[in-house]
Each structure stands twice: as C-alpha cells, then as structure tokens.
Structure 1
Amino acid sequence: MLKKNDIVEVEIVDLTHEGAGVSKVDGLVFFVENALPSEKILMRVLKVNKKIGFGKVEEYLVQSPHRNQDLDLDYLRSGIADLGHLAYPEQLKFKTKQVKDSLYKIAGIADVEVAETLGMENPVKYRNKAQVPVRRVNGILETGFFRKNSHDLMPLEDFFIQDPVIDEVVVGLRDLLRRYDLKPYDEKEQAGLIRNLVVRRGHYSGQIMVILVTTRPKVFRVDQLIEQLIKQFPEIVSVMQNINDQNTNAIFGKEWRTLYGQDYITDQMLENDYQIAGPAFYQVNTQMAEKLYQTAIDFAELKEDDVVIDAYSGIGTIGLSVAKHVKEVYGVEVIPEAVENSKKNAQLNNISNAHYVCDTAENAMKNWLKDGIQPTVILVDPPRKGLTESFIKASSQTGANRIAYISCNVATMARDIKLYQELGYELKKVQPVDLFPQTHHVETVALLSKLDVDKHISVEIELDEMNLTSAESKATYAQIKEYVWNKFELKVSTLYIAQIKKKCGIELREHYNKSKKDKQIIPQCTPEKEEAIMDALRHFKMI
C-alpha cells in the first residue's frame, strides 16, 4: 500500500479536465501536476485517499514529444497557464475532446459532430484585463499572482498571457505604491489599504482604465500618484476606485468612485463601438471573442424579420452585433451598470431596435412572453453555472426555432442541452473556440433547432407528467439515442423515435405548435433504424 513520500515509477495515461496528469497505481488513480500523457516519471506520493491520490514529479524518465520545454514553471505554479506545458496544437485537440466527452457523458450525445477547436495564431499576450492582488512579500509591497490553490503571492512582472502594456502599467503602479508608502492588504490581519489592481486596455483603441481596490475610501496622496501614473502612461483615460472592506474573495465591493477622467473606456468589436465600465463583463480576448460571436451569428442564420432575445447580454456586444440585420433585439442583464452601458452603446452605434432591461434572464423571459413578444432566435451566453431550469422551460415555450448557446462551461452546457432536447429541440452544430490559450478553459457555441422547423413533424417531448404511462417514463429520447449509437453505431432522430413509439402504442401528445403546412414532408424511419429503436425500447422495458 502506497503512503505519503513513497517514490514510484508511473506512466501518465490521461489528463484531467483541468490539465493534471493521470496515472494508475495499485488500483488507485493519481493526479500529478506538470505531467503529460505518454510520459514516464518518478512520482513522489503527496497524499493518498481510499481511491485516489496526489503526486508530484520527482524525475522525468520519458518526456512527451508534445511538451512545451520553454514554459516558465511559475506560470504553471500560479495557475496562470495551467495548460502551458502542452504544445498549442495539442491544447486545441485536448479542448475538442473535453467538449465531446462532456456532451456524451452528461447529455448522452454521440451523434453530433464537434468541430475542431478554433485557435489563435499567436496564443500569448492576449488578455485585455488584469486582476492583480497586492500583498507584502519579504517586507516589500509586491504584485503578482497567487500560487495555485493558495493565497501565497508569487511576485510576477510578466504575466505571459496578458497584453504586455497592461503588464507595464501594473509594474509602474506597483513602483508608485512603494514610493508613496501605501500599505498592501494583509489577509490574515484584515489590515492594509491596497487589495487589488485591475487594469483594462482596449484591444483596438488602446485606451486604459486603472482600478484601485482599497479597504477604505481615503488614499493618502492619491492625486499625486495619479499625476505620476498619467505622465508615465498617457493612454490612461480612467482611474477608478472600488472600496471593498469585506472579508471575502470577491474582487469588488459595492462602492465606486471616479478619481480621474471618465468611468469607462471605449473599444470596438465586430465593427461596433462599446463603452466598457469598470464592473461590466467584457470578454478578455477580443480577437477570439469576435470569432466566437461571429460563429454564433452564423449558426443562427439570421434574417431581416427575425426577433432576437439576447439573454445575459452584458454590455450588448452580441445583441448589438446582430441588431442591424434583424427586426428587433431584446436583451436582459442583471448588472445595472452593464444595462446602462448597453443602452449607451446602442445610441453610440445609432441602433434603435435594441431594447435592454435589468432583470434576471428567467424573469425577463416570462415578462416578454406576457407582453406578446415572440422571438424566432434566442442567443444565450450564461455564466459558468449555466441556465436555470425555469429559463430553459420559458425559452422553449416561446416557439423560437433557433437557439445559439455560447458557453464558458461545457459541463453545464451539456446539462442544459439535455433538457432542451427533452423539450423539443435538437442539437445541430457544436464549435469550440479557444478564448483562453494556455489554460484548460474553452468556450463553445452550440446550435439548437426546434424539431418542427422546415421538414420535421412536431412532437411534444416534455410529456404531461400526469398522463405518463409507466412505459413512457422508462427512458428519455437522449438515452435511446445513446443506446442505439453505442450498440449499432446508427444516428436516429427524435422524430424517428417518436414514430416507432407511436407504432408500438406508446401514446404521444401532439405539440400545440404543430406545423400548419398542407403538404409537409415527413421523413420516415428506415427499417434498419426501426429495428435498432425497437431493440432500445425492449432494453428499457418500454415494450
């Protein structure tokens, strides 16, 4: 039985979602930082539980041909670039696999092609925003990044994935904080003044915003500090102060002050101009965000008479990008400052058909339905926790025939797609996009289409639970698809499954929105696929 500090030779067989190496020893699964598949290492055991353990590399016996030998290990230790030790083409393959695996394991989807991840030509120095903690290290005020899984600051001057001008501003500001003897925050003692520095820079405009996050309002000689900072970096158009006096890991508190200039910077995305406030969400990789949003727009196949809902609209970047090509856009965002930015951004770009409200996405969706707004396309870009069940159900009730789902967390996206499938939507396309090179994070665009669009008969997927037979409740459409694919390697549609279920006497309630076309073309299930579906129904004891 392995114990702490034992050293054992192992082979790395896989990577976790977060980029740690995986090895198997004596029936245990070990996770090892900075280890890649096909590598053989001497591993020191750090911790052992009943089924899993953690180790670290003592020596590389065989290294992967895909290892990036040039990476500064500080970027791995800090978590800034937790996939930076893997060559970039392999990072893209890794991310494609993550998307495929999540769709299969969580949603049971194996029959939809996942395109290869779109990558960057130069996958470094891309971030347009830095959030940098300020702490005392060895008696000196330092800026840098926390060591992975800790709050121990690692002093850094080159952040590898950040815009190099932002790095210069951070270092210049650090030196001024030292000169004016402003005290860094001490997390243990709950003392000190300067907690964090946040710097934004417009990718196209070059405008810079600096945010001082402090524990109290008064900052000694702040006017002199700002004067010196502007002399050094004349591109700065905004210096903000955020006051956060809480014992929390959150970067920002509730109170904001403008110390210099305006309270926003301006930048461009997909040929529109945007005002970006301090607390507003804005994608940190402008170049790849344009590819991400353009992919979603292309997937949606927008037409002039489309009515579009832009859920989780941020400062309006997606909705305003499509507004000039559709009839109306309705956006919702929960952050008030972002909603104000959205309205100003619409005016800035002479867009009059985009309407924004401050609310939760699910509440706004319900209110729009009450007001008779009937979207044909829904664009969603939720936070990592994904969509709420109430939003998914409300959005499916609108009758929108296309949903373009932009996700920063493929696991929650897969969960949400599974529910959408059960409510009458079919996954059509999936495109991963690498907004965060050198890290394990991946963005994904997925297109969901309502089954009664064009040539499909519409069948109610979410059956009335009060009238379910015991057979109907045995398996979902996604589970049946998964079974047929795994056993027969055949792709079967929800329509075909519904046809065979009806043929077997399993009653289905027709959808209220059934196509009104007089001569609709209804594709019929082939004998081969019919037998495969019948086998699945027998497997799940539905017949």
Structure 2
Amino acid sequence: MAGLPLKKNQTVELVIEDLSHEGNGVGRYQGYTLFVPGALPGETIIAKATKLKKQFGYARLMEIREPAASRAEPPCPIYKRCGGCMLQHMDYDAQLAFKRKLVEENLRRIGKIEGALIHPTIGMEDPWRYRNKAQVPIGEEEGGLIGGFYAQRSHEIIDMKECLIQHEKSDEVVACVKEIAGKYGIRAYDEEAHSGLLRHVVTKVGFATGEVMIVLVTNGERIPHAEALVQELVEAIPGVKSIVQNINTKRTNVIFGDVTRVLWGEEYIYDTIGDVKFAISARSFYQVNPVQTERLYKKALEYAALTGEENVIDAYCGIGTISLFLAQKAKHVFGVEIVPEAIEDAKRNARLNEMDNVTFAVGEAETVIPRWYEEGNVADVIVVDPPRKGCDEKLLQTIIAMKPKRVVYVSCNPATLARDLRILEDGGYKMAEVQPVDMFPHTAHVECCALLIKK
C-alpha cells in the first residue's frame, strides 16, 4: 500500500506501549500502529507485518527481545493455536489491572467522564475451570472425529483433550461423544459441502448441583444408532441428567436451530446462584461463570439499595437471573425480555423459588417499558443488562423521563457502557461508581456494574 512506512512480510523491531481492547499488543513503527497478538506492554519485540490497512496493521510476534515483568507461561498446550483465550501469557494480577484501565479509558474517551470512581477489578481466587457451558464444533481428521475451538480468525478446528477454562465435566463429555459417535460411524458436519451430521456438542454443568446436560446439534433429524449412543453416554458420564438433540439444517454459523427434543432424561438441569435456584434448558441463556455472576449480582443488589418498598424494572431480564436476585429485597420487580422462551424460563424460575412479587413480559425493552410508563407504572430503580450493543436510545430516553432514583447498569462492553452513561449523565444522572468484574479470566472481556443517581 503506497505511503505506508513498511511492506507486508517486513520484519521490524517494536516497543509495545499498550494493549488493545482485544488484548493485542500495540506498537508503533514510524508512527504507524501495529497490533501484535501475544505481545505485552513494556516488551521489545521483533514482529513480521501480516496485514496492512491505511490507518493500522497487524503483525506476528517473531521474537521477544525484552520480556515484560507481567509475562506468564501459558499452561495450555494449544494456547498459541486456539482462539478461545487471548491473555494466558499475561500474569493474572496484570490482567485485572488491564481490565480496570480498559473501563477507565472508555469512560474518559467515549463517555467524556473524568475522575470517576472505578474500583479495582474483582478477580477469581482460582481463575481456571470457571465456565459451566462449552459449545464445541466437531470436525474430522483422517477418518476420526475431532472437537475443539476454532483457531483465531479461521474456521479450522483445533482438536483438544482438555480446555483449562471449562469445567472438567465438559472435557469428559466431548471426549466421550467423539469416541462413541465415531464408533457408530456418525460423520461430522462439513461446512463447505453442507454434508455430514454432527455440528456441535454443547455441554451445560450445574456447578452447585453437579447436574450435566449434553446437547447434540445435528444437520438432520435422524441420528444413526441413537438409542445405543445415548445409552453409552449415560453409562460413561456420571451426573448426566439430560441428553438433548437440536436440529440445525441451515447453512449458517449460528449454533442452534429451531427444533429441540429430549433424547433421554429431563428437559432441564438445575443450578443455584446465591440463594436463588434456576432451571436451565438447552436454549436458555445462563451466565457462564456462576462464581463471578454471584459477585456481580450482589454488587447490582448493593447499588439498587432496596428497602422492600421499591418497584424495580429489569430491562433485558433473560431467564430472570437478576430479577430474582432483586426480588429478594424489592416490593415488586418487572422484567422484560425479547426472547419468548427466556420469559417462559423466567416465570418457571420465579415459581421454583416461590417468588410472587415478579412480573415478566415478552417484548423489546425499548417498546414495553415506554408502554408501562404511559400506563402509569413508575419504577424507583431501573436495572439494565443489555447485549454488547448497549441500550436502545429510546429506552435511555424513557429512563430519563421516568426519573427513577437509581439506575444500575450491568454491562459486558465498556465502549457501549461509556456511550450510554454519557446520555444518562446529560439527562440528569450522576455516575457515582463502577465495579469491574472479571467474568472471563484469560480473555480480554470485562463485565461492569455502574451506579447512576438522579441529580
């Protein structure tokens, strides 16, 4: 590309100054920014330019001349090839500091919020084996089934025996499915040819209960030798309570199809977070790190400062996880969620916990909550936990019009959090404090809980 200070495949020496929001090292060559996966701030490295754009490029780490004090030895044998984690090469305390800084920089740069109280990131005592759900694509190599996560920026499956951030049960399930399905001649799905049967193995584990669900995602309705396959899985895996088939015959990289049926056992497994019990189905969204979820939700409950007299609205309520936490201390909680199945699960979870001070509605938060407001339903506290794209502008304007005393914003994306906080601040709220929580150790993701108080 004309006008750039280097060419593709050129090797250069870089001093790494920072980490990007994706966890890549950031260095500059003659003023031109290069992102280098695997490099850490403070390191002097040799890197090879791999992809060059007008404003920035990517480079491969070839040699570390001077390692950073925060560099760690990744314990995972396939870490450098697998795209599941980005930060195993970084000391855990340094990861927590990076995540707090990421939040601070987003608030300052995007939200124009200076000097906010941002607490140190709440980390884990043991930041391994924390995921209760694995979604593992299945492929074939030399006639045998393989299963693992994709290599970074590709659809090449890296076969794995164990994943150090998944519950051990998930490893056991994937290994058993590969072996038993392979024995019965079940073929893996081939994306290119849109042929073969087994697309993904999804596992869910109740950390508190030990219950296990296995979901076989298939490109077709019929599983050869289904009864024998199921029987062998039941015998091989202690704790399995549910074996489910999900049928996805579309040419898509979306994991689940529309049809789900139970092959053996129950439709649900159960887990608890704090004192609240949850039923989890094959399609339920349930937080993947129950230990840190409890800490995050306790913080949301603390920020809500409930006395038992408040009406609370929980926007984006999912299967009712935050709603039911809040209902322990609130007069009444109103939850809204766009996915009908999630609302059915939320109602079931309310019954399961014998909570009758919660009401759940299906629909877009930005449509339902303004309707509630027009009908005269006002909230003392509003809790939002939106997807990565953040809150809809219409919802933010309704919150501002409703004038709740407190807004608790749970976020999985510091950039959209900062954008939305700016709108709420302009609408008469003061951002009091933010608590980052490390929900996904060894990745670049950070969850936050922010408290806004009406000025």
TM-score by length of 1: 0.81
Question: Per residue, is there more helix in 1 or in 2?
Answer: 1
Q: Distance in 2 between matches of 1:431 and 1:47?
A: 36
2:140 matched to 1:136? yes
- 1:72-471 alignment runs, 5 A limit: 72=76, 74-451=78-455
**CA displacement at 1:270 relative to structure 2:** 1.6
2:43 matched to 1:48? no
Q: Distance in 2 between matches of 1:446 and 1:291?
A: 14
Whether the 8 Å contact between 1:308 and 1:376 is mirrored in structure 2 is yes
Please state whether the residue corresponding to 1:50 is helix, strand or coil. coil
Greater Cα offset, 51-60 or 324-333: 51-60
Whether the 8 Å contact between 2:36 and 2:58 is mirrored in structure 1 is yes
Task: Name the amino acid aligned to 1:262.
Answer: E
Q: Distance in 2 between matches of 1:49 and 1:112?
A: 35
**1:505 equivalent in structure 2:** none
**CA displacement at 1:76 relative to structure 2:** 4.0
Partner of residue 70 from structure 2, selected from 59, 63, 66: 66
Please state whether the residue corresponding to 1:101 is helix, strand or coil. helix
Q: Distance in 1 between matches of 2:259 and 2:279?
A: 20
Task: Name the amino acid aligned to 2:436.
Answer: P
**CA displacement at 1:73 relative to structure 2:** 5.9
Please state whether the residue corresponding to 1:78 is helix, strand or coil. coil
Q: Distance in 2 between matches of 1:404 and 1:76?
A: 38
Q: Distance in 2 between matches of 1:256 and 1:345?
A: 20
**CA displacement at 1:395 relative to structure 2:** 2.0
Greater Cα offset, 70-79 or 426-435: 70-79
Task: Name the amino acid aligned to 1:241.
Answer: Q
Number of residue pairs aligned between Structure 1 and Structure 2:
451
**1:5 equivalent in structure 2:** 9
Q: Distance in 2 between matches of 1:62 and 1:237?
A: 51
Whether the 8 Å contact between 1:314 and 1:342 is mirrored in structure 2 is yes
Please state whether the residue corresponding to 1:248 is helix, strand or coil. coil
Question: Per residue, is there more strand in 1 or in 2?
Answer: 2
Q: Distance in 1 between matches of 2:140 and 2:430?
A: 54
Whether the 8 Å contact between 2:76 and 2:164 is mirrored in structure 1 is no
Structure number with bigger Rg: 1
Structural RMSD (CA): 1.2
Q: Distance in 2 between matches of 1:380 and 1:423?
A: 16
Please state whether the residue corresponding to 1:171 is helix, strand or coil. helix
Partner of residue 29 from structure 1, selected from 20, 26, 33: 33
**CA displacement at 1:56 relative to structure 2:** 1.1
1:101-121 deviation line (CA, Å, top 9, x unaligned):
000111100121111100000
Please state whether the residue corresponding to 2:243 is helix, strand or coil. strand
CA distance 1:260–1:58, change in 2 (3 Å): same
Please state whether the residue corresponding to 2:452 is helix, strand or coil. strand
List runs of 5+ in structure 2 lacking aligned partners. none
Q: Distance in 2 between matches of 1:51 and 1:314?
A: 39
Q: Distance in 2 between matches of 1:411 and 1:9?
A: 31
Whether the 8 Å contact between 1:3 and 1:47 is mirrored in structure 2 is no
1:54-98 deviation line (CA, Å, top 9, x unaligned):
211222211112111243362243221101110000000000000
Please state whether the residue corresponding to 2:395 is helix, strand or coil. helix
Q: Distance in 2 between matches of 1:61 and 1:360?
A: 52
Whether the 8 Å contact between 2:84 and 2:150 is mirrored in structure 1 is no
Task: Name the amino acid aligned to 2:327.
Answer: A
Q: Distance in 2 between matches of 1:177 and 1:229?
A: 10
- 1:526-537 alignment runs, 5 A limit: none
Q: Distance in 2 between matches of 1:25 and 1:198?
A: 43
Whether the 8 Å contact between 2:435 and 2:449 is mirrored in structure 1 is yes
**CA displacement at 1:240 relative to structure 2:** 1.2
Q: Distance in 2 between matches of 1:293 and 1:241?
A: 32
Please state whether the residue corresponding to 1:435 is helix, strand or coil. coil
1:183-230 deviation line (CA, Å, top 9, x unaligned):
101011111111111000001001111111111111111111010001
Task: Name the amino acid aligned to 1:37.
Answer: P
Task: Name the amino acid aligned to 2:252.
Answer: T
* RCO comparison, higher one (Cα < 8 Å, 6+): 2
Whether the 8 Å contact between 1:265 and 1:275 is mirrored in structure 2 is yes
Task: Name the amino acid aligned to 2:309.
Answer: D
Greater Cα offset, 319-328 or 46-55: 46-55
Q: Distance in 2 between matches of 1:31 and 1:265?
A: 42
**1:493 equivalent in structure 2:** none
List runs of 5+ in structure 1 lacking aligned partners. 452-543
Please state whether the residue corresponding to 2:138 is helix, strand or coil. strand
